[in-house]
Amino acid sequence: MQLVRSVLYLPASNPRAIEKARGLNADAVILDLEDAVAPDMKAEARAAAVAALTEGGFRSRLGVRVNGLDTAWGAEDLAALSDLQPDFVVAPKIESPEAVREVAGRLPAGVAVWIMVETPLSVLRLDQIAGAGAPLEALMLGINDFGERMNLILGQDREPLKPWLATVVAAARGHGLLAIDGVVNATGDMDRLEAECRQGRAFGFDGKSLIHPDQIAAANAAFSPSAEEVAKAREVVAAFATADAEGKGAIRVGYRMVERLHLDAAHRLLARHAAASTPPPDAPI
């Protein structure tokens, strides 16, 4: 099972951040060429991303967020990646399935596409966009851009955002994609980060976008199954393995009735637990 509990953005123009990222315990690292890079640094950041991909040495899955194809830099970003093999490329401000396919068509075979859901049109067309097909792999909610364009006032409970949190997860699940929650801008507010991680997990997200290495541990913990969840899942699996459960669609486990769909969910949770419990490999040389 591929975990994306912690997805860390870092500016591709920051060589110290890139070097540090090679040893971090994030599930995925994104070299950002878009929002985190000033216009006069775009070419330098692109060259640095190419160098980092060529050199390798990352223990995390490694992606690149390119600039949009409607900008002066997007086509050059994708051209620079055409002979490389990042694990995925993040495309910003996608508003149609055709835009997904245009990005995918400029990438080498085997490179997954993750898209940013960050405009009103993107959520209104999300079923079509999420159904664009391979190599689309993940939907990432871009809270900052979306909130600004929607004129939302977001407090710590993210109340105005809740319908869209559910919409992104529903589209991802309906089309077999990963769903990744948006960032917390207050990097020093760990209480808020932990609260948003718990909320994102409750809504069904697979992980959270991060903008500082100090946020990784909280995201990994929140999006990993708890000891209580693991115990209950094992109880369900054990109960369905008994002779009494053979041929039955629903059985009693303790004080609750469970069905075969709960057995499937238990197996998925235990697979996630096994993946989360596996020590991260040392960064390859």
Binding-site residues from annotation for substrate: 65, 118
Residue 63 CA: distances (Å) to CA of 56, 81, 84, 90: 12, 11, 11, 7
Cβ-proximal residues to 189 (8 Å cutoff; 6+ apart), any chain: none
**What whole-number distance in Å separates Cα of residue 35 and Cα of residue 54?**
23
Q: Which residues pair with 250 in a beta bridge?
A: 259
* First CA to last CA distance, the chain: 24
Binding-site annotation, residues for Mg(2+):
118, 145
Binding-site annotation, residues:
65, 118, 145
**What whole-number distance in Å separates Cα of residue 200 and Cα of residue 167?**
12
Cβ atoms 49, 28 nearer than 8 A:
no
Residue 267 CA: distances (Å) to CA of 107, 132, 274: 35, 29, 11
